[in-house]
Amino acid sequence: MTTWPVGLRFQPTEDELVDHHLRGKLKGKLEAFCLIPELYIYDREPPDLFILYNELSYIPSDGRECFFFCPHEDKIPNILGSNNRMTKLGYWKDTCKKHIIRSPDMGKQIGIKKILVYYEGRQPEGSKTDMVMHEYHLSSKVYNSKISGPMAFVLCHIIDRTPKKASTSASSSTSSAQAPEEVMFKTENQNEMSISSMPDSNVPIIPQQAQMQEEQSSLYNGHPFIDGPPDECHAMPYSPSDGIAILDLWNVG
């Protein structure tokens, strides 16, 4: 495999991160592919971690999360309030929240998860961000002779929880589709017609040829035919006084 298949994601569960990946790292197990690179991350800015992850890991990051094996040190602030998780622009603050990770089959404790949040600026006036870190530690209850340094590494899961911005292109295309259009077209009698408010289909309804012929047939020398039921004049019987009688033609002299 030269590239990671499109659509395939690296989404291990917490017990898999601890019991398989972290335990394997502490045992010195080598992976066929570098899924989780080793890096000291606490002095690096969070955006840089995603760039480094793409450079070191076989799995590309989606920009929302990444994983690292980090050499373990005591990262808890001392009594003077200093924090050795500081970067140039901010610091990682321990929320003091711990969660126990248990094996799914036996329910035994296999690890501990600590939660940290990245702050911009300096303590105690830092500004909280949406960058979160889950720091996984192997439990002392699962140590064995094959793990020489059980506290040598921790597994860090960095998560960017910044809300995604809505796409403006979708809203602009929707508004343009709903905007009314003015369409000009000509009929056979060269009379321009304007439709200012088109329906959603945006297709003008043009009169059919049969309807146009019917409209034109209603005119004769510019005068309309009398169409419809006969009126009182047409219902009257014929009378010789209404016109010239045939015998009067012979009397013309």
Backbone angles phi, psi at 45, to 5 degrees: -70, 145
Question: What is the average pLDDT value for the chain, to the nearest integer?
Answer: 73
- pLDDT above 80 (res 3): no
How many angstroms separate the CA atoms of 168 and 35, rounded?
35
Kindly indicate the confidence band of residue 82, based on its pLDDT and cuts at 50, 70 and 90. Answer: low
Could you say which DSSP state residue 240 is in? G
How many angstroms separate the CA atoms of 11 and 179, rounded?
44
pLDDT for 196 = 44
**CA dist list (Å): 10 to 13, 18, 52, 227:** 10, 15, 17, 80
Tokens of 84: 């050795």
What tens digit of pLDDT does each residue of 52-71 get? Answer: 999 998 888 888 999 999 99
**CA dist list (Å): 201 to 80, 193, 196:** 71, 18, 14
**Whole-prediction pTM:** 0.61
Q: Considering only CA atoms, which of 177, 186, 179, 191 is closest in space to residue 204?
A: 186
- Sequence letter at residue 179: A
How many angstroms separate the CA atoms of 108 and 102, rounded?
5
Lowest mean pLDDT, pick from 3-17, 93-107, 114-128, 201-215 = 201-215
Helix (H), strand (E) counts: the chain: 6, 9
What tens digit of pLDDT does each residue of 163-211 get? Answer: 877 544 444 555 444 544 444 444 444 444 444 444 454 545 555 554 5
